Structures are given as structure tokens and as C-alpha cells.
């Protein structure tokens, strides 16, 4: 199944070699290809530049005339949310303030 950028979906069958042809890329945007095995693959369509439409990660790029290879590493947790820590700190400060207040009231 291929879903287009205009939220239209189309069922497509693969040929004997397992490849598919999808001529319905008349709209610019990101298309979503879902296969029966559950894998999902995104591909972009830009009618003016074929290189810009290729969003697949490259193994090697050329930067300032020097080839740079991609590094293989496990996915790490990025952009860890800070709000749980801030809420915990606020609760600790509120409890500490309450304890100090109660100590002053007893004296």
C-alpha cells in the first residue's frame, strides 16, 4: 500500500522479482510505502530535483572534498525530557520548605 502526501492510498502488487512500479507520483511530498511484512518505508518526490527526492541515508558523503563514512552505532536516547526532573526538584524543595517552616513553628 502506498499513501501519498494528499492522504490518498493505493494498493499495489509487486512483480515476480519483488519490485513495484508506482507511476502516481504527480504530487510533491513524502509517500509512505507499507508492505505486508509490516515494514514501512518513506520516499520523497520532488519534481524538479531527483537528488533532493532521495532521502535514503547515504553510507558515504563528500564534505569539503573529503569522503566521510557513516558510523554504525546503536540508537541512543536523545532529547531526554527534563520536566520529570524539574517536577521532582520542585517537590523536594516544597518538602524542605515545609520541614523548615514546621521547625520554626515549634520553637
Are 50 and 25 spatial neighbours (Cβ–Cβ below 8 Å)?
Answer: no
Number of C-beta neighbours around residue 73 at 10 A? 6
**β-strands 29-34, 2-3: how paired?**
antiparallel
pLDDT of the chain, 107 residues: tens digit per residue: 777 777 677 777 777 777 777 766 767 778 777 777 777 777 777 767 666 666 677 778 888 888 887 777 666 667 778 899 999 999 999 999 999 999 888 76
Is the pTM higher than 0.75? The answer reads no
Residues paired with residue 37 on neighbouring β-strands, in sequence order? none
Amino acid at each position: 500500500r502506498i499513501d501519498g502526501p494528499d492522504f490518498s492510498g493505493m494498493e499495489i502488487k509487486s512483480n515476480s522479482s519483488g519490485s513495484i512500479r508506482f507511476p502516481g507520483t504527480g504530487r510533491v511530498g513524502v509517500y509512505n510505502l507499507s508492505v505486508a511484512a509490516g515494514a514501512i518505508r518513506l520516499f520523497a518526490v520532488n519534481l524538479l530535483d531527483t537528488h533532493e527526492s532521495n532521502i535514503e541515508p547515504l553510507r558515504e558523503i563528500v564534505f569539503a572534498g573529503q569522503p566521510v563514512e557513516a558510523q554504525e552505532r546503536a540508537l541512543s536516547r536523545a532529547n531526554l525530557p527534563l520536566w520529570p526532573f524539574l517536577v521532582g526538584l520542585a517537590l523536594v524543595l516544597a518538602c524542605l520548605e515545609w520541614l523548615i517552616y514546621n521547625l520554626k513553628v515549634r520553637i
